[in-house]
Structure 1
Amino acid sequence: MNQKALIDLLHELVAIDTTSGRTEAQRHLQAHVATTLLEQDSRFTVSTSPAASFPWTLVRTEATGPYLLFACHVDTVPVGNENVWDHPPFSPITRDGVIYGRGTVDMKGGLVAAASALLQAASHGKPVALLMTSDEEIGSLGAPDASASLTDLDIGAVIIPEATENKIITGHRGALWLEAKSSGRAAHGSTPERGENAALKLTSVLERARTQLPLLADERLGSETWNLGMISSGTAPNIVPAEASATIDMRTVNTGDHLLDWWQDQTGLASVDIVLRLPALRTDPANPWLQALPAEVSDKPAPYFTDGSILSQSLPDTPIVVWGPGVPSQMHALNEHLPIQSLETATQNFRGAVQTWQTEQKASTEARY
């Protein structure tokens, strides 16, 4: 793909509103990418999910040997109030060397760059594949089904084209989201002594968490964090609340078992339920394949989680990196935009990774075993 083709395809993808939960829109976008690739080169095999809640599409070259896999989610976060955007979020425009629209950075720009690399792979007979997943933004919900599609495919390495300023990132923290609930006894708000305030029980636990939660630190992934994301209680101002709940977002450097144990041990809580649990992602920066890639390997982790958390469970010995165009600050941002130069750099990087794949993959595979 030349520059115009890259920009045109990105415009087409951004124009499709694939906000998380819009299943058919995500399925349509995946089909559009697959059709676009097949129109330019027929040497692809396309597999798709059955009519299910979380669509996925796998496009791969007809080649032999371990595959280099690009894994891209196609959903985006909500735009919020469209009226405060400088340009309509689903009517992409290119101006002064910058492409504007929801999803340009997270991560349709990376998807376009990966598609371009896949076309090069087909023309050179390289074993390269593109996996498109759904609903990553709300907890990598589509990744388990998509990951199952790789069962019969030998995967040698994975690139996840999220925004990294085109630097290679070898890991990120996991995520543990919990819903903590407390219970009490309702009473009239004028006589609170007759009731048992569930909200006060819950806030007492949350206050302890600020100083007592056993957050760990990791040399490569950084420190664990926690955030009170949502809280609710009561039915009216003049009623003592009988129930209260809070949703906690914790970013973990391992399985998060120690954090789950802490919440479950707290007096004042009636229940603690897991909403989301994703392990941390780690790839050895010294892997020979990484050293041969045409970009800088960063010593910092990605601040966000990716589908790599799920893929790493089914591909435990496979190097997985996060590497793509755009700056992380534009992810989920108002007036999200991607410089054309960043998109072109990612495209050239991915083409370089494809070009050296069979040679460097052999060294990487031997290092693994």
Structure 2
Amino acid sequence: MTPSTPDHAPVVALLRDLVAIDSTSGTPGEAAVLRRVAREFEAVGEARVTFARGADGEPTALLVSPATVAVDEPLLVFASHADVVPVTDASAWSHDPFGPVVVGDRLHGRGSSDMKSGLAASVVAVRDLLTRGAPVALAVSTGEEVGCLGAPAVVDLLSGHRVGAVVIPESTDGQVVLGHRGALWLTVRTSGLAAHGSTPERGHNAILDLVAVLGRLGDLPLSDHADLGRETVNVGVVSGGSVPNIVPDACEARVDLRVVRDDVDELVAWWRAQPEVTEVRVDLDLSAVWTPRDHPWLGGLGAPVSASPASYFTDASVLVRSLDAEVPVVVWGPGDPTVVHTVDESVSVAAVVRAVDQFRRAGDRWAADRRAADRRAGDR
């Protein structure tokens, strides 16, 4: 390849560096990614870099914002995450999952699509936009893959700024996706009385109680949304008992509900109202996200708008709770959604390079619209 080919673009060099860091959720690699991103802005005088830190002093989130901006200036925020899902069997991969390699147009490695490609593209675009004085920002969280754990720290970092629009550069194959369902994860427990397996009548079987509850799932009050579709329920884990010859005195299920409503109290109350259930714990509560198709900002993005919502949730589920209702939030990135979390995860190099240009144009358009709004306000 010649130096002019996409493989030699600055964004690809950054993407290689990011993929080479094993930033599996909960490992020191997450903080290493945040520090690597921060280095991209060391020589950018127009940028202010702020870290959120955990009790151990390690970074848990990062915000890059304009060094000087009016307090009421609305920012276009690109919000990414640093962590990746685990590599369970590296020997199954064609290449080292943390040794990024380009084959043809594909850069291979864990996190290449989800979502270090979107992170790298937004880093390069925001860096360039800030040097031109555009009102844009970059936020990076940790722990997204395990329930958006770092997103509240991003909310705290953004609290002193006015957010005008948000791009989540997750894997959408370059399409602008207008939202996704939220998630409600529950642990549901039943309790019984232990007895010898040869005399079950002397005990009370907690597993059979839970079976009775799960047999009524058809009665769950699930809702529909015109764009996000119907709410769903999945019983992902059931555990109870110890050996065949003891009547089990405890059983629990872990349940994943994908929701379209803002208030999940009715769903939680349904589980708690089942007579066999002794405890319901809310493990995760994430909001649904949706931007109307007729929002005027979408027309200036220069990318196709998907007819369908994302099937997964993102940090947007946390961010929207701190935003004004009219703030548009979209999921839009170069990653390939068909290979996310898979063996031999990869991304199109050309798509990553193209995303940088798209993000730059979106930022330039945002800056131009803000200047036009200021002129109109001055004329009044």
Match of 2:342 in 1: 333
For 2:36, which of 22, 32, 38 is the aligned residue? 32
174-183 or 315-324, larger mean C-alpha shift: 315-324
Distance across 1 between alignment mates of 2:41 and 2:302:
24
For 2:83, which of 56, 75, 83 is the aligned residue? 75
What are the within-5 Å matches in structure 2 for residues 121-200 of structure 1? 121-200=129-208
For 1:51, which of 51, 54, 61 is the aligned residue? 54
Distance across 2 between alignment mates of 1:31 and 1:347:
21
How much has 1:198 moved relative to structure 2? 0.5
Distance across 2 between alignment mates of 1:188 and 1:364:
76
> Cα deviations across residues 111-139 of structure 1 (Å, max 9, x unaligned)?
00001111221221111111110101111
Distance across 2 between alignment mates of 1:44 and 1:166:
27
Distance across 2 between alignment mates of 1:30 and 1:279:
26
If the length of structure 1 is used for normalisation, what is the TM-score? 0.94
| Number of aligned positions between the proteins | 363
Match of 2:243 in 1: 236
How much has 1:51 moved relative to structure 2? 3.5
Distance across 1 between alignment mates of 2:371 and 2:45:
27
Match of 2:300 in 1: 292
If the length of structure 2 is used for normalisation, what is the TM-score? 0.91
For 1:84, which of 78, 92, 98 is the aligned residue? 92
What is the percent sequence identity of the aligned residues?
A: 41
Match of 2:356 in 1: 347
Distance across 1 between alignment mates of 2:274 and 2:90:
42
How much has 1:362 moved relative to structure 2? 6.6
41-50 or 51-60, larger mean C-alpha shift: 51-60
For 2:225, which of 218, 227, 233 is the aligned residue? 218
For 2:67, which of 62, 72, 80 is the aligned residue? 62
Distance across 1 between alignment mates of 2:157 and 2:349:
33
How much has 1:291 moved relative to structure 2? 1.3
For 1:245, which of 252, 257, 260 is the aligned residue? 252
User: 2:77 touches 2:137 (CA, 8 Å); kept in 1?
Assistant: yes
> Cα deviations across residues 189-217 of structure 1 (Å, max 9, x unaligned)?
222222111011111111211x2222221
User: 1:182 touches 1:243 (CA, 8 Å); kept in 2?
Assistant: yes
Match of 1:305 in 2: 313
> Cα deviations across residues 223-274 of structure 1 (Å, max 9, x unaligned)?
1111111111112222111100110000000133332121111121111110
User: 2:181 touches 2:258 (CA, 8 Å); kept in 1?
Assistant: yes
> Gaps spanning 5+ residues in structure 1: where?
none
Pairing 1:12–2:17 present: yes
> Gaps spanning 5+ residues in structure 2: where?
none
> Cα deviations across residues 43-99 of structure 1 (Å, max 9, x unaligned)?
311101133477001112334332111100111111212221222211111111101
User: 2:79 touches 2:167 (CA, 8 Å); kept in 1?
Assistant: yes
135-144 or 278-287, larger mean C-alpha shift: 278-287
For 1:280, which of 277, 288, 310 is the aligned residue? 288
68-77 or 259-268, larger mean C-alpha shift: 259-268
